[in-house]
Chains A and B, each alone.
Chain A
Amino acid sequence: MAAKDGSKMSAAAIAAEKVDGFTRKSVRKAQQRQRRSLSSSQGSSQFRTHGAVPVDLSLSPLPQLMPECVNQQELFTQKLQQCCVLFDFFDSVTDLKSKEVKRATLNELVDYVSTNRGVLVEAAYPDITNMIITNIFRTLPPSDNPDFDPEEDEPTLEASWPHMQLVYEFLLRFLENPDFQPSIAKRYIDQRFVLQLLELFDTEDPRERDFLKTILHRIYGKFLGLRAFIRKQINNIFLRFIYESEHFNGVAELLEILGSIINGFALPLKAEHKQFLMKVLLPLHTAKALVLFHAQLAYCIVQFLEKDPTLTEPVIRGLLKFWPKTCSQKEVMFLGEMEEILDVIEPTQFKKIQEPLFKQISKCVTNPHFQVAERALYLWNNEYILSLIEENIDKILPLMFGSLYRISKEHWNPTIVALVYNVLKTLMEMNGSLFDDLTASYKNDRQRCGTPSRLNNPYPHTLSS
């Protein structure tokens, strides 16, 4: 199917080139993708080094593991050692037999640790962790596509996944085995182990990130001594992402883990956690690729505010500071997050930030991009927010009135105009006399300034009016 699409695309590309010599980005990308798929859409950094002395990689199958029999422990160790042999998956023809032996052995090992009790004896731990480390810890390969756009492009998949998946599966079952003893395992699953695990979150392969997420979550749960370290390292990854590289594929997954970690924070919150909120989570909003992890990020923020409502004011002020200036897509996300925050806000906190907040919302309402205006106006559909507005109508109505009134006359999009009428109606019902006063003074102002509607019209190109 991909090949068929590809050939169609390249015909289109050639035609396009005939006309103007330039090809559109989408066509070029499709071509690149096609070119890559011809060779391989997979990447890996596990290959046999060229020119090295050829090592005999052939594996021969060992007898089946049977928990009831004697000497099983020795066989288990042998199998673990057998699985430490790495294969080159770029070369799809070599070592086929041995690859199959390793796959079957890994499968057997997964079964062995997940269905049997009493197999995790202390002596097995070093071999188990060694097998895991050898197979999964590696420097991730350079990205095939230097301007990889996670929203548009297909990720490069890990070529050795047929084995690697089973190793991850094994690691997970190992951690989840009822006999698993963190006190023994902590000698092997240490800071260094965690650090390497965290670096793997940058992989482009979503399947691998998914495994990593579950595994890191288990490790965080079982190894109390590693918790602070894990948090600190995630911190460092995020700070590097924000201020240095702007590139890390696993931000969403790490945030997802943090969401549940934050959930478990004891009260009162430690200064360290508050600092994480203010100096790491809030600046994460400035990332270009916010769309990829915004849901998880907003969840973390709301978790914090539910724990400690006094953080609401600094958080909202922080968001207002980082409010997008030109990116409408991000602005819509910010408005969505703001609604989530307002959903859990305490009325006393609301009073503290209503002024700067509604100044911003008032700007959003007049945004010529209808999705931004629409998202802002949807806030009035929220019962709780509506009740907060009603409570503070004297403060909020003057902030909103000018924008709403103007937009009701001038916005190009009829849906927005209809929404604005509804909002104006709601606000009028909340405080009719204030509404009338504002209407009168607004009209006065307009008359005094001549005909500002033409001069200040933000949409000079609208056809109606």
Chain B
Amino acid sequence: MAGADGDDSLYPIAVLIDELRNEDVQLRLNSIKKLSTIALALGVERTRTELLPFLTDTIYDEDEVLLALAEQLGNFTMLVGGPEYVHCLLPPLESLATVEETVVRDKAVESLRKISQEHSPVDLEVHFEPLVKRLASGDWFTSRTSACGLFSVCYPRVSSTVKAEIRQHFRTLCSDDTPMVRRAAASKLGEFAKVLELDYVKSDIISLFTALASDEQDSVRLLAVEACVSIATLLPQEDLETLVMPTLRQAAEDKSWRVRYMVADKFSELQKAVGPEITKNDLVPAFQNLLKDCEAEVRAAAANKVKEFCENLPEDNREQIIMTHILPCVKELVSDTNQHVKSALASVIMGLSTILGKDNTIEHLLPLFLAQLKDECPEVRLNIISNLDCVNEVIGIRQLSQSLLPAIVELAEDAKWRVRLAIIEYMPLLAGQLGVEFFDEKLNTLCMAWLIDHVYAIREAATCNLMKLVEKFGADWAQNTIVPKVLGMANDPNYLHRMTTLFCINALSDVCGRDITTKQMLPVVLKMSEDQVANVRFNVAKSLQKIGPVLEKITLQNQVKPVLDKLATDKDMDVKYFAHEALSGECLPVSVNLPCCCKWALFQTAN
């Protein structure tokens, strides 16, 4: 249609229109994604006069295409001629902001927010603000929800009369009879409050906040809790008690658990926003109640905040508050009936030790840690183990190991592999602090037992663990304690264990050094090239490639190459493949030596 007059410069738009009408969504999507290229080809004027009207009028499409369009238009300012003309983008974005599908609408609002910044104050009043008003008074709820996100971006830059109108519109939407709109307004309340003058925050926002916080729908009330954080931050301390606290207190005791959950979830933010005095008088009892809530969901959310809450308590009587008010609740939670509550607590409880110091930790917290370490739920045990280091800092490894070691040993054989994995990951740290002697005595057998675990992830972690241990204790220690055991497994009847030997060698060769690798490990690897199981044989090839850099050139040439040569003619396809990989890979470490390298290359082609 556009190309009908034979004007070549219209060709791009003709292609676009063709593709936009294509039956294949993917093609339509592609052409929308190329929109900026096309706009560039058309030039700013024709983009304004032809492309945008076309997009505004003719697009009725799959949400996926609309989403891409909404996103593109947010970056179109320069393509329509810069800030002076940016308002041309408003009509298509306005209709996208009324679409049913939430992601499209959200993207359109995001783009509108973006281009609002590029409007001059005059354009903002002439073009942008009327759009916001139209959306805010739209028939269908979608346009009104979209409007909620646009007030805060234009408010700071318009005249005071327009400001008054905007406030009025926002007020109307806060009492809209569609809950979807009230939810949108409630979720933007905090953001809007931030751009308002303090007097209006006190007069307008507070009444809206109070109304939304006592909405008949709990889905609206809980969003007001979020707004509470921003509003409390804006108000001077002396007004908080009268303007915010009654509502917050009410929310913490709401009959809907969803609202209480939200309070628990936002507790640290609320605590920071209202300051230390109110925290002491109001939030401490509120927090106690949340920790004892009758719904497990709420208790779990509150338990998650225990550490942060305690950390942020005013330092002057922090310890006293924790010991008399919080700790008793925490003790109860350790034996909660719900595993999510216990596991939430376990993920933060260790953090209390830094706050309470050594003596309190040993006296009050250690028994709780031990109880949780023995919890029937693996998640709880796992969360405790993964946070051992913070306790370590406070009471020292000796104390920790004495009280916790039996439990740790027990967990090393836990039925859940993720728990075993967490223990393994903690082992190098523990070993480093306990010293060689203690380690050999208590933990060495455990570390070796993991090598023959029936879960691969554990065996893998165990090999990695060995490497870290050798890094700590040195090659001599390795030669005496670990290497013989590892190499012994090369004769194990189970091929998975034989492979573990190879994996260990891969991990250890570097830290053990050339001597041990050449004299002790290499012979074993070479011998394993005759293994019956193909998986072992190709892992031999991989191992040889891996340990190659550690070996001397002469060893490579005389011992490794013949074995790889043989593997390269193996009857198994994979073994051949990895042998070839190794042969070509071996070139790299010895590439300084050119003739040798050539020989290797020759060999490759000959085969």
B-contacting residues of A (Cβ < 8 Å)? 17-18, 20-21, 39, 45, 47, 49-51, 139, 141-142, 192, 195, 232, 236, 239-240, 243-244, 279, 283, 321
Q: Bits for B89-133, please: 1 = Cβ < 8 Å to A, else 0.
A: 000000000001110000000000000000000000000000000
Contact A142 B337 (CB under 8 A): no
A236 touches B256 (CB 8 A): no
B141 engages A239 (CB within 8 Å): yes
Partner of B140 from A142, A240, A279 at Cβ < 8 Å: A279
8 A Cβ contacts from B7-65 to A: 62
Assess the B296–A142 pair: CB atoms within 8 A. yes
Closest chain B residue to A142 by CB distance? B297
**Complex Cα distance A235/B297, Å?**
29
A236 close to B178 (CB less than 8 A): yes
B296-336 CB contacts (< 8 Å) to partner A: 296-297
B599 near A: Cβ within 8 Å?
A: no
Cα–Cα, bound, A45→B297 (Å): 12
Whether B292 is near chain A, meaning CB under 8 Å from some CB there, is yes
Is there a chain A Cβ closer than 8 Å to B180's Cβ? yes
Chain A CB within 8 A of B581 CB? no
Query: B209-233 toward A: CB 8 Å interface, digit per residue (1/0)?
Result: 0000000101100000000000000
Say which residue of B141, B219, B294 sits within 8 Å of A49 (CB atoms). B294
Question: How far is the CB of A224 from the nearest CB of chain B, in Å?
Answer: 20
Task: For the complex formed, measure the closest distance between the CB of B263 and the CB atoms of chain A, giving whole angstroms.
Answer: 14
Instruction: Determine chain A's interface SS by DSSP, over half rule.
Output: helix
* Interface footprint category on B: 20 to 34
In the bound complex, residues from chain A placing their C-beta under 8 Å from that of B179 are 236, 240
**Contact A21 to B295, CB < 8 A, known contacts A142-B257, A239-B180, A279-B140:** no
Instruction: Please give me the 8 A-B residue pairs with the lowest Cβ-Cβ distance, nearest first.
Output: A21-B455, A139-B256, A142-B297, A243-B102, A21-B417, A47-B294, A236-B179, A49-B294
Q: Which residues of the partner chain A approach B296 to less than 8 Å between Cβ atoms?
A: 142
CB of B157 within 8 A of chain A? no
Please tell me if the beta carbons of A142 and B216 are within 8 angstroms of each other in the complex. no
Report yes or no: A141 in contact with B257, Cβ–Cβ below 8 A: yes
Check if A50 sits within 8 Å of B216, measured CB to CB.
no
A45 touches B257 (CB 8 A): yes
Taking the nearest CB of chain B, how far is it from the CB of A392, in angstroms? 21
A-B contact pairs, 6 of them (CB 8 A): A18-B454, A51-B292, A139-B257, A244-B180, A279-B140, A283-B100
Q: How far is the CA of A142 from the CA of B417 in the complex (A)?
A: 30
Residues of B with C-beta under 8 A to A239: 141, 180
Interface centre among B100, B140, B255, B258 (most CB of A within 10 A): B100
Whether A39 contacts B337 by the Cβ 8 Å rule is yes
Q: Closest residue to B288 on the A side, CB-wise?
A: A51
Residues of B within 8 A of A17 (CB): 415
Chain A residues near B255: list those with CB within 8 A: 139
Q: Is there contact, CB below 8 Å, between B294 and A243?
A: no
Contacts of A47 in B (CB 8 A): 294
A51 to B292: give the CA distance in the assembly, Å: 9
Q: How far is the CA of A18 from the CA of B297 in the complex (A)?
A: 33
Q: How far is A257 from B258 in the complex, measured between Cα atoms in Å?
A: 28
- Distance in angstroms between the alpha carbons of A236 and B415 in the assembled complex: 48
> Does residue B457 face the partner (Cβ distance < 8 Å to A)?
yes
B103 to chain A, nearest CB (A): 10
On whether the beta carbons of B295 and A142 are closer than 8 Å, the reply is yes
Give bound CA distance, A321 to B61, whole Å.
9
Taking CB atoms, residues of chain A closer than 8 Å to B337 are 39
Q: Residue B216 contacts which of A21, A192, A243 (CB distance < 8 angstroms)? A: A192
CB contacts (< 8 Å) of B295 on chain A: these are: 45, 141-142
CA distance A236 to B292 in the complex (A): 34
The closest CB in chain A to the CB of B61 belongs to A321
Shortest CB-to-CB span from A18 to chain B, Å, is: 6
Q: Interface 1/0s, chain B 250-263, versus A by CB < 8 A?
A: 00000111100000
